[in-house]
Structure 1
């Protein structure tokens, strides 16, 4: 039985392209794409027919479609121009939640009962958005935001309790939605042979938790048709709301941007003091004439201070720049942030530089790092950066604090590199090992990547040999051959049964190709 609420999701296809085209007057049927960091983040249907796809480099996209109209990604523009769509939906339904620019969600129960059914409600919303906002959209209804969003992309109405069967045949790539950043997880699941959401859903939750990280647990709940997180069952402190009043009414966008930053930091700090994080935020504005505007923002991940400030800024900008008949009658004199849905603060992964619970912690930490560098030199404070490489040790490099964190070789193909996930422990110097097959014969790897024996036992650094439960690989790497250079190496992932410690030991091993193999352990998984 699903624990997810029944939602209607209205989806505007390719919204970043639609918003960019509306801002500059591009013909709606022209092939167009929106780029960020020189890669496609969204493209129109005409561009997709020409072979352009999300994640493609600009040069490749333009070579496939020379007439492609190029736009730069602008999240503020997308949010500002989406406000009329959300306002149009709000004409017929209460509790409208903006998931992200291009997608709004509405609780179905009350509105569907008032209009005489879900289908009638959907028709009214389609007509309202088309007439008042002038954009095309699709609607889907299902239990839970994830299932309802995928239903909207297929214009499907899923029966109550039918989200899990609806999701089961869909490809596993649906987990990698814009903004979710699950591409690495999806790639790993695909390599493991899990090609549909149903194949992932049937795995026991304890097995997923033992093998993958937190993001995979969330994805597993979504694949099963459940809510993204279990509800937070604890009494909430009453002082979590944040209110700001203005003597001079707020009417300018630059003033709104400054206020949004301050409010976002205060709101985030208040939640952090109670060990909480917000996933659904209500932004309430009161004007000088007494008019009240309310907008809900639903978030896939718990809001940080910056993400909160972004949503406050987007919403204020959307209100203040709306058409004359839709904008407030006067300036804003009060802004209030209300946490509508909360999760435990452990769901929010903070990085170095965003530590602490008050708004100035990041700045204080930065000043402290710079002072240490001034006393001991730039190399005294290093931060890790994940870059390209074949081995786990090569992928992580340390750079001085404050240096640009641009990766140098992460996009290179790196043939023979180890697939995700990365090991928890990586040795500076590989540890010698002995891998043997049936009868105690040493296992070799040929130049073609074939093992001469099936691995049966592994002895690490002279310890007693442990039996091999499972293994994957080998992955070959042959460097450019020169006189005296080694012929290459192969890497494998193996799981050993350690009966003495009553646990399994997953390892990364490397072996030189050809006769007289040299086996080493490069890393250990937790």
Structure 2
């Protein structure tokens, strides 16, 4: 068996660039939970790294373009890109957005050689501003590692290639499924390369690290792997739908995806198994049949299944409109039939305590969904980012698993500049939010009718604590709600950033976002 892997480094950044029409200015970083999830090559050149706090990254590069993480955008863009590989290889499998594998032996035999097939795959992946690396080997895991090194490993040479690879490469790619704690422990024991790991007795590694140890040892030893997208015989659990009218809009596709995912997981639950590999099949109005196989390291949940189906349908519909030039005018028309077929099943992992050390995200998600089914969807809420000028108004509490509607993505004039505070206060009406700001003579500092400070801040009193002001910016007036019938609109405020040091020169430094409202200062958030 020969496998080829195509790796698109920093795919969230590349997807954001594609979605914005190549209009994002370098350097670029994609942020999730106020940390850098992925960054461009230009960002790494100036010192930005994954996992770095966004505010630290902006301090390193003030010109940094920060884009919020959007898995739907990543999946949608990659589903459209992956369609171009079907003209080169028959067996194509998406491991995650940004990484795809294909059967190189079959593609090479059809196109007259592996080198020709590799060139054609790279040509199919070529897009303006998009980087792609290709790797080939006998096993899927080895091909994925080879893609990160842009290497074509000769047949039978996988062990020699892997022997020189650092052990950290196992956790550099999430699709390999290596446990980070196991890899870290092996490194602490002096195992520096995959060759050293492969030289260990398999029984010793399995006894010490269990299934996680067995997984990484098989990768290092280039153990025989499965074929790409094989047709494994499983019982018929496929679900299908034939809409009354062809699906031509993305919102209709999303509705169909969620309904089919629910039906599929009802059947899976009845058999007591999970789906690891899913085939999405769609038929267009002209009879064209489109297929795509998605594989995940962890068992697919109902939400994850719906996401992947939605990404795929969105990509097909987008490609159809691009060929036809308009909504519903694609070359093949709308989607007239949709089928989901599980290709690989597995028994579910035993569920332990929710907050135990080995508890997974899937375990927590299942518990949350169970609570919602018993107490209602509004029983579990999660914060989501929405549009707004202040801090509190940018955060909306929505039911777990849902996204807020009507999120404004355009710029907000007068919005608080990044980085944003890390902790919200109790609200401007909360007693603990009252704060006193004075000048050097002890006179309270206020905001005048011209939206200016009456004096330069010198000291700050918050409860029983006293601070010496070391820096400040603002005020920024905000006049909202004037169109309402209220006599004193609550939106007429001014905000200011203040940094103060408690006690003497060695005291702790704190930053606040203050709000001037109803002739007094209040704490809106703390940095």
TM superposition score normalised by structure 2: 0.62
> How far does residue 41 in structure 1 lie from its aligned partner after superposition?
1.5
Are positions 1:309 and 2:306 aligned together? Answer: yes
Which ranges of structure 1 fall in alignment gaps of 5 or more residues? 371-401, 404-526
Shift of 1:238: 3.1
Q: Cα offset for 1:140?
A: 0.7
- Equivalent residue, structure 2, for 1:249: 246
- 1:55-102 per-position Cα deviation (integer Å, ceiling 9, x unaligned): 111122222222221111111111222234212221111112122111
Contact 1:85 1:133 in 2 (8 A): no
Task: State the Cα distance separating 1:352 from its structure 2 match.
Answer: 5.4
Distance in 2 (CA, whole Å) between partners of 1:67 and 1:278 is: 44
Pairs within 5 Å for 1:402-441: none
Alignment map for 1:52-451 (pairs within 5 Å): 52-130=48-126, 135-176=130-171, 177-178=173-174, 180=177, 182-226=179-223, 236-322=233-319, 323-325=321-323, 329-346=332-349, 351=363, 354=366, 363-365=372-374
Residues 40 and 355 of structure 1, relative CA distance in 2, 3 Å threshold: closer
Distance 1:227 1:49, change over 3 A: farther
CA distance in 2, matches of 1:230, 1:172: 25
CA distance in 1, matches of 2:267, 2:370: 14
Q: CA deviation at 1:361?
A: 5.4
Partner-residue secondary structure (3-state), 1:104: strand
Q: What do residues 18-69 of structure 1 show as CA deviations (whole Å, max 9, x unaligned)?
A: 1112222455782211111111111111111111111111122222222221
Contact 2:178–2:212 (Cα < 8 Å) also in 1: no
- Aligned pair in 2 of structure 1 residues 69, 258: CA closer, same or farther (>3 Å)? same
Is the 8 Å Cα contact of residues 25 and 65 (structure 2) preserved in structure 1?
no
Residues 33, 352 of structure 1: alpha-carbon distance in 2 compared, 3 angstrom cutoff: closer
- Residue 309 of structure 1 deviates from its aligned partner by 1.4
* CA pair 236-363 structure 1, distance change in 2 beyond 3 A: farther
Residue 259 of structure 1 aligns to a residue whose secondary structure is: helix
Shift of the 178–198 alpha-carbon distance from structure 1 to 2, 3 Å rule, reads: same
Q: 1:226–1:260: structure 2 CA closer, same or farther, 3 Å change rule?
A: farther
- Structure 2 distance, partners of 1:202, 1:214, is 18
Query: Does the CA contact (< 8 Å) of 1:272 and 1:345 recur in 2?
Result: no
SS of residue paired to 1:151: helix
Distance 1:282 1:123, change over 3 A: same
Q: 1:84 to 1:235 in 2, by over 3 A?
A: closer
Equivalent-residue separation in structure 1 for 2:233 and 2:349 (angstroms):
16
What are the Cα deviations for residues 331-361 of structure 1, in whole angstroms up to 9, with x where unaligned?
A: 21211112233334349975256279xxx85
Whole-Å separation in 2 of the counterparts to 1:58 and 1:68: 10
Aligned pairs for 1:446-461 (under 5 A) are none
Q: Tell me: CA distance 1:224–1:243, structure 2 relative to 1, closer, same or farther (3 Å).
A: same
Is the contact between residue 29 and residue 46 of structure 1 (CA under 8 Å) also seen in structure 2? no
Runs of 5+ in structure 2 lacking a partner? 325-329, 352-359, 380-398, 401-527
* Cα distance in 2, alignment partners of residues 79 and 214 from structure 1: 30
Q: Partners of 1:182 and 1:239 in 2: how far apart? A: 33
Q: Pick closer, same or farther for the CA change 1:235–1:115 going to 2, 3 Å.
A: closer
RMSD between aligned alpha carbons? Answer: 3.5
Aligned with 1:249: secondary structure?
A: coil
Q: Deviation at 1:269?
A: 3.3
User: What is the CA distance between 1:316 and its match in structure 2?
Assistant: 0.9
Q: Secondary structure at the match of 2:44?
A: helix
Residues 168-214 of structure 1: CA deviation (Å, up to 9, x unaligned) = 22111111124658433332222222222222233333333332243
Match of 2:466 in 1: none
Following the alignment from structure 2 to structure 1, what is the Cα–Cα distance between the partners of residues 244 and 253? 14
